[in-house]
Each structure stands twice: as C-alpha cells, then as structure tokens.
Structure 1
C-alpha cells in the first residue's frame, strides 16, 4: 500500500523563469537540505523541515546556469556550471559567485554527478566523462568525442554498484535510443541499442533506473502512456560490443497518450514507481504511485495548477514544480503484497505495536525489540539466526526460469528470461539455453496455443545455440511459418540437416507477399538490391563481348530468333526481378547456409516446377529436375542464356590453357643452365 501525504510549498519565490522549469533538485551533505537550481541564474539551499532557504547564490547579469548545482560530499563544497564551460566551486561562507573558484573547461558540460562515497564526475555533451580532481588539475585538457554526430544525451544517472561507481546515460539520434554504461572500477564503457516496441515508436518522454543484484532496471515512460522496462546486465558478456536490449511492457496506460509534455517517471523502490501526468480519465495533471509487481494504481493526487513535467525523488519526499512554485509531497510505501496492492492490508489494533518487517537487518534490529535486551544472549541469538538465514541455499536463476516455463504466462516467462540473460554467463551457459528452448518447445507440443515467440528470439540471439542442441526449434517454426526465426537459425546454426534446409526453402518460396510484407526480416544481405539488379543488367549486355563471344555464332539460331520476335516481353523480363526484396533476403539465408551437395540433391526434387528457375543452385537443380526444366516453357530463356554462358566460358578456358602451357615452357627455359659467354637468339612459337 502506498499513500501521498499533504504537500507544502517549499518557497514562495517563483521558479522556472526558463522554458523548462528548474534545472534540478540535489541532495546536499546534510540529510534535510537540498540544492535547488533555477533555469536562470540562481542556486538556493533549502531546509525542507523548516520550509525555508538557508542560502542563495546567483551568477552575474548576462550569465546563465546550464547545469544543476551539486554538493561534493567529500569536501562539503558546492559545484555548478554556467555558460556550458565555466565551472564554479564555493561553500556556505561565500556570498558572491563571481569571486569564488573558477575554471574554464575546453568542452561543454552536460551534467555534474555527485553521490556519497566517491568524487564528483563531469559528463560532457559529447559523451566523455572525467573525475573532478583530474579535470581541475588540467581544465583545458582535450576532451574526446564518444557519441556520434547528431546523437544527443537525453538523460543520465550516477549510482553505486557493489561499492563501485557506475554512470549510465541515454542518447537519442533520429528516433533511435542508445544506453551507455561506464564502470569506473574497470574503465569499461558499454553501449546498448534500445530496441523499442511497436507502441513506443514516437517519443520516450522520461527515464528512471534502479540497480538490482546483477542487472540495471531501466524504466521508460513513452508517449503512448505506457511504462516499459529494459534490463541491462551489470557484467556484460562482451563489454566492447554494441549489444541490443529489448524492453518489456511493465505498466499499460498510466497516463494519457495525448499528453505530449508534463509527464515524468521515477522509481521509488523495487515495487513502486511515481508517475507525473494526466491519467486517461482526466485532463488535469496528477501525481500517482503505481505498484509494478501487481500493476495496480495505489494512490493519486490532482495538480490543478499544472507542472513542468519534472519529478525529483529524495528520501521519502517527491519534489515538483506545481504552478511556478517548488512543492514537496511526502509519501509512504509499504512492503509490496497482494493485500496491500488491493487495499486490503489489515493493520494491528494497537497503533503503538509495529509489525515485524519482512526483511530484518540483524545488525540494526533494536527498533523491533530484538536488540532492546542488550545482552550477550540476544546477540548470540541474532548471530545464530543470521547464520541460519545465510546457509539457506539460493535457487539458481536457470532453475527458476525452467520452473516458470512449465506453468507461468508468456509475459512472466519473458521477464524471468530477461533477468536470467542479464546475469553473467557461466561455462555451461549454452547447455542451459538449450534446456530452456527444449522446455519451451515441450510445453508448445502440449499446448499449441503457447508459443512465446519473443522468448525464442532472445534465446536465438544469444548465438550459442545449434540445431543439435535444440532439434525441435526449426520444426516448430516451420509449423508456425515463422520465417523470421527460420532466417536467423539459417544464419547462425552450423549443423542444419539438408532436409530442413529444403523445407525452409519451400516455405520461403510459397509464402505470400502480403505475409512477408508484415514480417520483420533482416535485409542486410539485400541492402544494395536495386543497384545489384541494375549492375547485373549492364553486365548481361556487355558480358558476351567481354568474353570474346559473338552471339551471331550461336548454333541455336531458332531459339534466338524466337526470342527476338518478342522484344517487349524480353525487355520486361530482363529488367524485373522475379522476387521481392524480403523474399530475396530469405533465399540468401538458404544459399549462405552450410550444406552438402550429395545430401541436398535428393531433397531438391520436391521443389515445385514454378520455383526452380530463380535459384542459384542451377547445376544441382538441373541434375534433380532435368526433365522438368527441359519441358517447361518458362525455362527456355534460361536454357538459352546458360548455353551462351557455358560456350563463352569454354572459349575463355581454352585460351587460358594455351597461356598456361606457354608459361610452363618459359619457366622450364629459365630453369635450364645456359652459357652466359655465348650470344644466341631463340624464337618461341606460342601458337
């Protein structure tokens, strides 16, 4: 259960003189004090419990603050950036910002981050990151460019993972989003491409993140009004590779899809998120808290004066701009349970008796009566309980995933799979992935309606599977006519039987163009499809002359004359491709797959006659379907072209053989010992 308490205005001074409201609200080195940076020229230090400012600092006229002020927790000083490149550092005793420490940097700053336990970090607009100490030692040092041209940073967060600082920032370029994760214990910068869902094609309006044990949970609020979650591994398997991560739908329709501004999202704990924006049933903006575990709305509060679409979360307080004034709304979130999510949680009758929490910190347990005895006996009990808890075996993620496959919904399985894939890979990773696929296929055989396609796609994209590791995968895809999965399997599996390859070929040739149009197919193999066709036409016109072959010498005058009599039909056939681009991509996957001609030949006999004139396996197809090719009218032009081509190649080979013999004779002469004192002339007849 969650509740929003009565809010209060932190300051009577209007904020947000800029177009986007305040730049930020950041924690200071005191628990109850916060730095509020206006989008104009001012930084104000507030004490929330007293609801009053403790200090205010402004840059001079003509300057503008471009980065939220933060506190250096190691020194207690404050840091701010104005005019993109000018860094200022001051403390509570300073009055005039123009007289405090100043450093002019060589590149524009996007954001300064500071948290407890580490030095502040400076993130530049081009994606480079520097520690504050190293930057102050050499302010004019060269700053490298990390992100590409036209790529813009949209959001960033700094946090600690296993006592090591980690910075994540999101960029956008032409509607595509990318996540960069910088780990400072290993100096590794990992890049991820965020593959947004079909519903999220327009705009992602807000991000928030939290850290779990083995992965980073990145949540995004889309302009369709839904919340999506993307899991990013803390320890990536290939840190230097641009990896792709797929989000899953977490909450549906939390705000109105028509809201183009004034929306924000922040994670409160592992089961609750706060959302700012108008709900579906109202036009006015609201602040609401949702339970992500049970997907229920816990509480909401209407904001009639509107907001700037900014939401900050510190401790148990939510900060936002309500109208033109900074407002603080305290909140409470209890441990997530089904009863609490449904509002049915029963509390004890005695308000002075606190219920025992589900998660007890055995080191600081005085608040629950366990440490109040303050005796050696109670300490021994605590130590014994701690040991008993610690020795309980942890269920491996793979076991949890396999158990979920047997009984849970497709959506829940997809979430569990993404959690498993976010864990660092073990030596038996490929066998576990094979077991997971076999488990999914086993349930699919028992329940034909169960076909978790997204899960299968993620499993195949791990690139550790083979046909022998999951033999039923391609058969199931053939039953479902899932050409996308078949294409990926053909591109990755090295041990596909020739019979399965031919079965894929039949599907690719027989599926309708309408179905292909709606299917997502990798088109890399036909990226220059149109240019290749045009180049092929030019080569076809000049190839005969380049090979020294004159079509007038062709012995098949009747066939040629028959084709000349129909110039229009010949032109139409030569300038059009017999297959669409997507079908060509599928056929290329067949042609690039591993196969043996000996085992492939018998299966090619089952190819229908109307499909055998468009393949590159011409020799094998002629062997398997010789009578059919000779008899069908559609193959006459193909046979004539093959005849001309073969004859020209024979002529070329003949000339090459003559040249080869000549070179051999010259090589023998060079190897013979000759008397250099004698002068002689030798005549060689090559022809």
Structure 2
C-alpha cells in the first residue's frame, strides 16, 4: 500500500530544453535530509531548505562558463563540489559568497559526474569510464586518466551505491545499439562489465534506478514500451569469478500501460522492495494524458496511488527521505509519499482494520485498498472478491465488447454482463478495465435520462479499483440523481476528491430535506452510530455521573414554570437534539472525514448559504458537545469523525462566513453559544494548566528529605 500526499512548490524552473530535460541538471541531498542542492542547466547552484521552501544559499559561475554536472555535498569535508566547463573542479564551503573565489582545479580529462554518498568520500567519474576518489584527484589534478571505454562508447547513466561500508559505482553505456553496465568496486578494486539485453525493436532503457537490499544490488530498467525489468548483482564478487563481459540476467517486474502514443521518455525510481514511482507514462484510465505521477506495486502489478500534475512532466524524477521531486510545467514540486509493507491482503483491499487501533480520522492511503474491511458494505453489497477466479477462468466477453453493450444495452443486461466480467477477470486486467467501464457508464447516464445503473456502479466500487481521478464525473452524476447511497460509498473509498467537489456534495446534502434523505438506504453502521449518539444523553442522565469534567447543571426551578428558552440557553447543558436527521447526519460525517487542504477548501465553503451554514454549525456543535462527554468512546463504529476534524470544520466555516454570521439575526444565538462554550473551555484549560504547573513543581521537589517516621505536610495548590 502506498499514498501520495499534498505537495508543494519548491522553486520555479527555467525553460524546458526537451522532453527529457526540465532545465534542471540534478537534485542532490545537502548537509541533512531537509536540504537539497538544485543545479540548473544555466549557471547556478542553489541550496533549499525543503520544509521552509526557501533557498539558504546560491552560487553562480561567471558569464561564458557553464556547469556541466550536478553539484554534490561532500559529507566528509562538509563542502560543495561542482564541475564547470567539463574539466574545472570547484570546491567551496557554505559561508563562501562567490564560487569563483573558492578552490578550483583543472583536471586532464572530461568529467562526467561527481558522485557522493553519505559518510563516504566523493568519487569522480570521467567520460572515458575511469574513476578516481576526489581527494586523490585534487592532490594531483593533472594525473593521467586511462581510457576504460571503447571508441564511440558513451555513458548514459551513472550512480553510486553504498552498502556494507563500501562504495559501488554503476554506469551504463551505449555503443552502436549495444548496451552495457559497468560495476566499479573499490574493495577489492575491480571493474566488471555486463551486457544489457534489449528487446527486438527497442533502444536503450530510458530510465535506471539502483538500490541495495541485503547483500545484493537491485537495478531497475525502464523501457519505452512500458516494460520494467529488474537485475540483481551480488554486492561482493568471488575472487575466482568469470572474467570478461558477463551476461546481466533480468526479470520482468511490471508492464506499464502505454496508451495510444509511442513514448520516448519517462522515469522510474525505486521506493522500496515492492513499490516504484513512475512519471511519463499515462494513467491507466486517463486516456493519452501523461501528466501523472504514479506509484505501482511491482509484486502484485497494481496501481497504488496517483497524482495529476499541472503542466507537462519531463522525464526526471528524484527521491530523497520520503519525498519525490518532480519537475513539471514551470515549477519543481515536492510530493511526500508513504509506502506500507506490502501484502496480498492489503493489495487486494482485504486487510481489515484492527479493533484495537484508532478508528477515527482514518485516511485511505491507496485507492486500491479497502480501509474499513467489510463494514462499509451494506446489505446487497457483499464482496465477491474472495470467490472470484483470478487465473483459471476467463470471462466470455472482453472489456471492449462490454463497453459496446453499455452504449446500447438495457440496465439489467449491463448489470449481468459487468458482474460476470468482474467475477471472472484477473486482478491486473480488472484494474485497467474498471475505469473504462465506469467512464462509459457515466457518459451514457449523462446523455440518456432513462439510463442510470445504480447497481452496476456499486459493483465497480466494490472492486476497489475506482478513484475520483479515474472517473471524475461519477460523484457529480450521483449528486444530480440524489443517489446518496452511492455518494456515501464513494466518500468512503475515494482518497482524492477535490475540495470543490466536496463542497458541492456538502451543499447538496444540506439543501435536501431530511424527509427525502431518510428514505435512502445508507450504510447501517453510520446510521446506528447516529442513533446511539442521539441516545447517549439519556444514558448519562440515568447514571448521574460526570465524564471528562462535564456535568449537566442542576435546575432546581420547576420545569413547567420555566420558559423554554431558559432550558436551552446554556450550551453546556447538552439538553439539545440533533439538528438534522439521522441519515443526513451520517452523510455529513462522511464529508467531515474527507481529505482536504485548508486553502483550496476555504473559497468553496463561501458558496454555502447562511441557512446551510447555520444548520451545519449547529450539527458540528452538537457533535462537539457529545464528544466532550466521551459519547463517541461508547459507540463501537469505524466510520466516525475525529475531534480534530470537527474543530477544523468549525474554524473553516467561521473563517469563510464570519462577516455574515456576525450580522445575521438568525445566527446570533448560535454564535453566542459558540462563544460561551469556547470561553468555558479556555477557563477549563487554564485551570488545568495551573494544576499541571503545580504537579511539575511537586515532581521536581526534593525526594530525599528525611521527615522522620511520621510527618504532616500541607500543600497549597492555589
């Protein structure tokens, strides 16, 4: 399982030179994991602090000089190293203002790259294939450099891998449609040449990635036809091993969807032993669009996460410390990611959540995973994944035939054919076909008013292979049809719903009468949660206890003589009913648990009308008061909004409509109650802070004082 989180822009980039170069020569780690060096294709090297998205230093060469390889940070000497004009090696420190005034040395051969690994000496790779340690080279810059490569043999890719306290320099070469891989080891000092196999009609691999796992080096080769091969090399070679050119065995790990166009560029980088990030190849269900960053599971051939990038993506991709660096359009974006340990159950969406784990604020980490086990499925929506044959039986119809039937067939026939196809199709084929079928079903439903296959949409959602990016119009169609059951399932499954769509759904839910929503068949667990939430108060009153520091205030006045407003003015009394129906509350809970970012969400919240905002705020206040009395802990439900989600939505609504709420007469009472409740909370936490300070003082007091056999000590807290 894997997830791509909300990204941010690190810096702008210059004009793109070609489809494989964004104007950035390279990105390397700086002095720590929060700093990176960005070398552009013009004349500058800039150090950025990633968390702050700000440059901390920048150096530029003189006009007429060019930087010919990415700058690196030498962790041993704490210095920056770069090569200009192919042969001039420049070394400078963080506090050096000008690169020109720092140390420089001219070597006797063209340098291809300077390679650096953590806590290791930097290595210089020459264009002729020779390798030198940086310190020994700078000691004698004009030392002779031998020619390792044959005539017309050109290096296409290079890297350095550190494992078991030794370095291995890897570089691939090309010579007249023949491709080789060299492995330079230093302990012992050996250079081994391997022959890279290529498929008929294919050129060299368009992307390489190398990692070390255990005692082996794992190399991934990406070809333009979407084939991703892996080769394994032992970290150490035998002293009696074969000499000369050795064959490089490989195995196919993944076949990426190619689309209709022939691709000549792309990039892949290994994230862990089961996941790889890819750019330059189309999303399986996005047609010919290639502006996607995708994470694939190479063990189970499944797409785990995807993110659409604005602007054209170049064939460059870097990965450092749980972050992907992607040049696209005119910017360099940083995309945090997370990869969880891969298992067949998790990949097929069958990994059930443990009851002992936290059950609130569960963020779906992959659109191919089922986050809540079978509890999200309503009657009639039971999973058939465990009974579906995946390799022995083949569906009688192909996906192209089913799409043709969708265009003209009746709803009942389409439902039967899609259900049979899902039951008999392999996981890999089904993942690619689900999006195509959903797009065609939505397209016909939008043009044919008499065609709306509710059950077929539920079948496709059940596969766990749909997300909003695959079929963007599905949620809009469901809202237009007032299909709240489908909307609820989509909210539970889709991790990538845009903020404007979330607000549109929220507006539809709030504007629909409770009487209409109460007739909808929703997830029973959510409805049961709402029922128990509204019934919790009576149980608390019977117990007469006080929970979480709250207790309904006693009212000695005769209830029959007291005005009704008197019983409801105190927001802490909790004598309040749910302002919405049970089913509407269940749907609102799903909205509260949808992933979002504050800045994109805030403008769309302003589209809500004042009555809708007031009702929603009343419901959020109702939830907050119930949660303050630990009501949510007494209700065993998986899909429940968290405390922080409720507070965040209250703050967002107040920020979006503060001026209107301040002057609207119908909002005066609600805002007053919110003010009183917040004031009481501030007072409570202030008193708790005093107690905490007193307890800390007591904890730090001397424990070794001898008070004799018996003593009485008075401690005044206030």
Output the TM-score relative to the length of structure 1: 0.49
Higher Cα radius of gyration: 1
